Amino acid sequence: MTTFQRAAQVLLVIFGLLTIVFYSSVYTATGDDAFPDDANALIATGGAALGVLVIALATAGINSGERWSWVALSVLPVFFAAHAVLLGTWIPDGVFAVVSVAALIVTRPRYTDDRHATR
């Protein structure tokens, strides 16, 4: 893996960590615009699980060269683009969508021998 590819992989891990932090912070939300407690718990735990899966796919999956893990990570740009369109949060979600597409392009599986040609 080249230094450029490793940097893109680290960026995907950072997206996983940000997902954990952002969604977990919903659990502590208070005020008039806060969700009910059970919804806060559901959002926080679901976001934390998504973040852990992103980190696992970005590390173990990409390092092993598995195409399925790279395809599974394509949920990131879709996730960020949906947020940008539905919530109007072009900064940062629109930027995150573009950066995650670039990271996926850089980390795409490349096969140098014929044993993986059927995948």
| pLDDT over 80 (residue 29) | no
pLDDT level of residue 18 (50, 70, 90 thresholds): very high
The answer to whether the beta carbons of residues 95 and 4 sit under 8 Å apart is no
Q: What is the pLDDT of residues 55-114, one digit of tens each?
A: 999 999 888 888 898 899 999 999 999 989 998 989 988 999 999 999 999 988 876 555
| pLDDT over 60 (residue 117) | no
3-state per-residue secondary structure call for the chain? CCHHHHHHHHHHHHHHHHHHHHHHHHHHCCCCCCCCHHHHHHHHHHHHHHHHHHHHHHHHHHHCCCHHHHHHCCHHHHHHHHHHHHHCCHHHHHHHHHHHHHHHHHCCCCCCCHHHCCC
Structure tokens at 40: 């806060």
- What pTM was computed for the model? 0.79
